[in-house]
C-alpha cells in the first residue's frame, strides 16, 4: 500500500493536482470561519443547541452541506452547496421535459458546459430564496432578532440585504472552488467539498461526546467510550455494505458489429461488450428528497406560527406532530419515501439515456432479444429488478438512526446521506487516481 502511495507522489502532474486540491480545501476552511456581518454566531449556536427542537433535523440536514458553518459559527458559507445540488437535480429532471435541454445533453462536452452554466444561473435565485427562508425561519423561532433581519423594515433593510448577499456569494464561491478542483485538481470538486464538510465535523462530534461525558462524572465514562466504539463499528459495517452496493451491477451482454480490413479484403465480425446496470444508480438523491419532504411541514408550521390563518397553521402543526423524528411513523414514512424516490430517479435517468434506441441506431443487439421495443422492455425488467435491491437497501440504511437517541449528535453522523457521500467520493477519487496512473504506464493504484 505504501509503495503505491509513493508511486502516486512520484508523478509530477498528479502530485500537482493533489496539492492544488489540498490548497483549495484549505482556502475553503479559512473562508468557512468568516462570520456573516451583523449576526452573533455564539448566541445563535447556543439557541439552536438548547431550543432547536424539531428544527434540529432541518439544520442538521443543511449542516451536512456546510461543514458546521451554519450551527457552529454561521459563516458566509452557511448555505453550503445545497442550492447548487438542488439546481443540478432540477435541471436533470427537466431534461426529458424540455427538448432544448435534452438536445444540449446530447451535444457532448459543449452541451455539458452549457448545462453547467444554466445550473449556475439557477443556483443564484435558489441561494437567495434559501437564504431568505432560512433567515426568516431563524427569526420566527427567536434565534435572530427581527431588528437584524427584516426586508420590509427600513432600519433593518440594509443589514438584511447584506446578509442575503453574503450567503449567496458564499454559495457561489463554493461552486467556483469546486469547479477549480474539477479542472485543475483530481476532479469531482463539488463532491470533494461536501466530503470535506462531513469529515471535518467528525472530530468535533467525537470531542463534544467525550467532553460532555467528562463534565458529568469528572472523567471520560466507560459508557461514552463504549458508545463511540459501537457506533464506529456500526459505521464501518454500513460503509462496507455501501461499497458493495455501490459497485454492484448487472452486466447485460451486447453484440456490436465490427469490420476489419485484411489483405484478402474486409471481413465483418462481432464485438462483445456489456451494459452495466447499477444496483444503486440514484446515489444519495432519494434520501435528500425524502428528508426534505418530511421536514417541509415542520418548516411551514414555524413560518405560520404567527399567521392570521389559524386553520392552515393548525393543519401543518398537526402534521408536524405526527411526523416527529422521535415517533416510529416518521421513520416508516422515511424508509418508504426513500425506496419510492429510488425507483423514480432511476427511471428518470433511464429515460434520458434512451439505451434501446441508441443500440438500434448503432446496429447493436442483445443476444436472443429483438432490437427496438423488445430490447427496451427486456432492459426495463432488469432495471426494475436490480433497482428493487438498491431501493430496499437505501430504505433500511436510511432508518438506522431511528435505533439511537435522536439527540445524540454522534449517532446522527451515521446518517445514510453523509455515509453515501463519503463512500461515493472516495470510490470516485480512487478511480480518478487509478486512471491517471494507468495513463502513465503504471500498474495502477487499486490493483
Look up cell 433511464; give the residue: 350
The whole-number pLDDT of residue 406 equals 47
pLDDT single digits (tens) 310-367 = 677 677 777 777 777 777 788 888 888 888 888 888 888 887 778 888 888 888 888 8
The whole-number pLDDT of residue 344 equals 85
Whether residue 269 contacts residue 259, with contact meaning beta carbons closer than 8 Å, is answered with yes
- Report whether CATH 1.10.3370.10 matches the domain 248-414: yes
The whole-number pLDDT of residue 169 equals 93
- 378-398 mean pLDDT: 88
The whole-number pLDDT of residue 176 equals 92
Looking at the predicted structure, is the pLDDT value of residue 409 above 60? no
Please state at what angle helix 82-94 crosses helix 154-184, rounded to 10 degrees.
Answer: 70
- 168-174 mean pLDDT: 92
More confident residue, 252 or 435: 252
266 phi and psi angles, rounded to 5 deg? -95, 130
Hey, where are the domains in the chain? Answer: 1-204, 248-414
Pick the CATH number of 1-204 from 3.30.70.3270, 1.10.3370.10, 1.10.540.10, 2.40.50.140: 1.10.3370.10
- 132-158 mean pLDDT: 78
- Give the confidence band of 408 by pLDDT, cuts at 50, 70, 90: very low
- 422-432 mean pLDDT: 78
**C-alpha dihedral (366, 369, 374, 378), degrees to nearest 10:** -70
- The SS3 of residue 142 is coil
Whether residue 98 contacts residue 118, with contact meaning beta carbons closer than 8 Å, is answered with no
- 369-396 mean pLDDT: 88
The whole-number pLDDT of residue 266 equals 57
More confident residue, 423 or 401: 423
Give the three cell numbers for residue 161: 440585504
The whole-number pLDDT of residue 373 equals 86
More confident residue, 269 or 80: 80
Looking at the predicted structure, is the pLDDT value of residue 173 above 90? yes
Looking at the predicted structure, is the pLDDT value of residue 262 above 60? no
pLDDT single digits (tens) 41-92 = 777 777 666 655 555 556 666 666 666 666 667 888 888 888 888 888 888 8
* 248-414 matches 1-204 in CATH topology: yes
pTM for the model stands at: 0.77
Looking at the predicted structure, is the pLDDT value of residue 212 above 70? no
Amino acid at each position: 500500500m505504501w509503495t503505491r502511495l509513493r508511486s502516486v507522489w512520484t508523478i509530477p502532474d498528479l502530485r500537482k493536482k493533489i496539492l492544488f486540491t489540498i490548497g483549495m480545501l484549505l482556502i475553503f476552511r479559512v473562508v468557512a470561519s468568516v462570520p456573516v456581518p451583523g449576526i452573533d454566531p455564539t448566541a445563535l449556536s447556543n439557541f439552536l443547541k438548547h431550543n432547536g427542537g424539531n428544527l434540529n433535523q432541518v439544520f442538521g440536514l443543511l449542516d451536512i452541506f456546510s461543514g458546521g458553518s451554519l450551527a457552529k459559527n454561521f459563516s458566509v458559507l452557511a448555505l453550503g452547496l445545497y442550492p447548487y445540488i438542488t439546481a443540478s437535480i432540477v435541471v436533470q429532471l427537466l431534461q426529458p421535459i424540455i427538448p432544448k435541454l435534452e438536445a444540449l445533453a446530447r451535444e457532448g462536452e459543449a452541451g455539458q458546459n452549457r448545462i453547467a452554466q444554466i445550473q449556475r444561473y439557477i443556483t443564484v435565485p435558489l441561494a437567495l430564496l434559501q437564504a431568505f427562508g432560512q433567515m426568516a425561519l431563524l427569526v420566527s423561532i427567536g434565534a435572530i432578532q427581527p431588528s437584524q433581519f427584516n426586508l420590509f423594515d427600513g432600519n433593518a433593510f440594509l443589514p438584511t440585504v447584506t446578509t442575503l448577499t453574503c450567503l449567496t456569494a458564499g454559495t457561489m464561491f463554493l461552486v467556483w472552488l469546486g469547479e477549480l478542483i474539477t479542472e485543475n485538481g483530481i476532479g469531482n470538486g463539488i463532491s470533494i467539498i461536501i466530503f470535506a464538510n462531513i469529515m471535518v465535523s467528525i472530530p468535533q462530534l467525537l470531542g463534544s461526546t467525550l467532553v460532555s461525558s467528562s463534565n458529568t462524572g469528572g472523567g471520560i465514562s466507560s459508557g461514552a467510550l463504549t458508545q463511540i466504539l459501537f457506533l464506529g463499528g456500526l459505521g464501518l459495517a454500513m460503509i462496507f455494505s455501501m461499497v458493495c452496493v455501490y459497485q454492484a451491477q448487472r452486466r447485460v451482454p451486447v453484440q456490436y458489429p465490427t469490420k476489419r480490413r485484411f489483405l484478402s479484403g474486409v471481413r465483418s465480425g462481432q464485438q462483445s461488450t456489456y451494459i452495466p446496470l447499477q444496483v444503486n444508480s440514484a446515489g444519495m438523491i432519494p434520501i435528500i428528497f425524502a428528508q426534505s419532504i418530511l421536514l417541509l411541514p415542520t418548516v411551514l408550521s414555524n413560518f405560520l406560527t404567527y399567521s392570521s390563518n389559524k386553520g392552515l397553521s393548525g393543519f401543518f402543526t398537526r402534521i408536524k406532530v405526527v411526523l416527529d423524528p422521535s415517533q416510529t411513523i416518521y421513520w416508516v414514512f422515511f424508509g418508504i419515501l426513500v425506496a419510492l424516490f429510488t425507483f423514480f430517479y432511476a427511471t428518470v435517468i433511464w429515460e434520458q439515456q434512451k439505451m434501446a434506441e441508441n443500440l438500434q441506431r448503432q446496429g447493436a443487439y442483445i443476444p436472443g432479444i429483438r432490437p427496438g421495443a423488445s430490447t427496451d422492455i427486456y432492459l426495463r425488467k432488469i432495471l426494475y429488478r436490480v433497482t428493487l435491491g438498491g431501493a430496499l437497501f437505501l430504505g433500511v440504511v436510511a432508518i438506522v438512526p431511528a435505533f439511537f437517541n435522536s439527540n445524540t449528535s454522534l449517532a446522527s453522523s451515521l446518517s445514510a446521506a453523509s455515509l453515501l457521500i463519503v463512500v461515493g467520493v472516495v470510490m470516485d477519487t480512487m478511480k480518478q487516481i487509478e486512471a491517471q496512473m494507468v495513463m502513465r504506464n503504471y500498474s495502477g493504484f487499486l490493483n
